[in-house]
C-alpha cells in the first residue's frame, strides 16, 4: 500500500505548473545524501483514490498538476493513481518523480505528463545543476517524451 507523509503546493518541481507534490514513504532507493531520508520508512497515511479526491477538493482550483514524489516500492500503484487522476480530473497534469534509472516496464508512461528519473547522486547534483544525472521528461503531443531538464538550469 502506498502511503504519503506530507504534501505541498510547489512551483519549482514541474516547469510552468502549480504542482501539488505528494511525498510518498517507503522509498527503496536510499540514495546516499538524500535530503528526504524521512521517506525511507514505511510511515504515513494511505495514498488512495479517496486521499486524491480530498486533495483535489482542497486544492483543485489552485493547482494544475499532481506530482507523486516517490512510490518506487509500488510503481503499479503509482500508475493506477495516475490513471485515476487523468480520468477523474482531466484538467490536471500528472507527474512522477522516481529515483530509479528507468521507468519500470509494468508502468504505462502514457499515463504521465511528466516523469523524472534518476537517483540523487550528491557529486552530480540535483536537477538544477547541469552536471545532474537526473532527467525530467515531458510527454509531447505525439506521445513521445522530451527531455526538459535544461529548463532548471540558470542561463
42, 25 Cβ separation under 8 angstroms: yes
By CB atoms closer than 10 A (0-12, 13-18, 19+), residue 140 is exposed
For residues 120 and 149, give the distance between their C-alpha atoms in angstroms, rounded to a whole number. 14
Residues 24-58 pLDDT 10s: 999 888 888 787 878 889 999 999 999 999 999 99
For 140, the grid coordinates are 509531447
> Is this model's pTM higher than 0.85 or not?
yes
Among 6-20, 22-36, 130-144, the least confident range: 22-36
Residues 75-106 pLDDT 10s: 999 999 999 999 999 999 999 999 999 999 99
Helix (H, G, I), strand (E, B) or coil at 94: strand
28, 73 Cβ separation under 8 angstroms: yes
Amino acid at each position: 500500500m502506498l502511503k504519503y507523509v506530507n504534501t505541498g503546493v510547489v512551483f519549482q518541481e514541474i516547469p510552468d505548473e502549480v504542482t501539488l507534490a505528494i511525498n510518498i514513504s517507503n522509498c527503496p532507493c536510499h540514495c546516499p545524501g538524500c535530503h528526504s531520508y524521512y521517506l525511507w520508512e514505511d510511515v504515513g497515511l494511505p495514498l488512495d483514490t479517496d486521499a486524491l479526491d480530498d486533495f483535489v477538493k482542497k486544492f483543485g482550483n489552485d493547482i494544475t498538476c499532481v506530482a507523486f514524489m516517490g512510490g518506487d516500492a509500488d510503481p503499479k500503484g503509482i500508475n493506477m493513481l495516475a490513471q485515476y487522476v487523468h480520468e477523474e480530473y482531466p484538467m490536471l497534469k500528472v507527474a512522477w518523480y522516481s529515483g530509479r534509472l528507468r521507468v519500470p516496464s509494468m508502468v504505462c508512461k502514457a499515463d504521465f505528463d511528466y516523469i523524472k528519473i534518476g537517483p540523487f547522486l550528491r557529486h552530480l547534483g540535483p536537477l538544477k545543476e547541469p552536471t545532474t544525472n537526473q532527467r525530467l521528461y515531458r510527454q509531447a503531443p505525439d506521445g513521445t517524451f522530451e527531455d526538459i531538464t535544461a529548463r532548471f538550469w540558470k542561463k
